[in-house]
A = this chain, B = another copy of it.
């Protein structure tokens, strides 16, 4: 029986890391920020803003999650830059209306402002100090989910992907680098 190994837990074949926004904030990002143990070692640390999305590890046709340090200067990235797009989305705790995080959408522009199909959802934590809601400061952990906007995947890549996602690592293809 094939079992995907995830350091401390065994993930049965067919299961993939597809968290909801709330799960990502509550069970992964918040615990990372407060140095608490995580449910699974499935999100590696990587300076996403210093890496061209084409060079990120894992299957580029799957959503890939990384812990990265929050930076205000999104232009610092390699061979291009990430630019914010759309409105930030508040993530609220299930069961009450308390804002626990923010999801920001960004698009990668290559070289001299050539828009690409690379998208990032950057999740950051919001903490409450009495009535004040404070976004975690620069340098604090965020979760970056990087993916390609849907276009038809080339047939060759599809075949590669099938073998990759059936591999003993997590389907997001990112457990090769341990967090």
Contacts and interface: CB of A to CB of B under 8 A. Distances in A.
A42 to B, nearest CB: 7
Contacts of A110: none
A98 to B, nearest CB: 14
Nearest to A95: B163
A14 B2 contact: no
Nearest to A160: B94
Contact of A3 (B3, B39, B163, B171): B39
Interface in A13-46: 13-20, 22-24, 27-28, 31, 37-40, 42
Chain A interface, >50% SS class: mixed
Given A37-B1, A94-B163, A163-B94, A16 B18 contact: yes
A89 B162 CA distance: 16
Choose among A1, A11, A15, A19 the residue with the greatest number of B CB atoms under 10 Å from its CB. Answer: A15
Contacts of A16: 15-16, 18
Oligomeric state, in number of copies?
2
Nearest to A21: B162
A145 to B, nearest CB: 12
Contacts of A11: 9, 11-12, 15
Interface residues of A, number: 35
Given A20-B162, A166-B22, A166-B23, A10 B13 contact: no
Q: Across chains A and B, which 8 residue pairs bring their CB atoms closest together, nearest first?
A: A14-B19, A12-B40, A12-B39, A15-B15, A16-B18, A13-B27, A94-B162, A14-B23
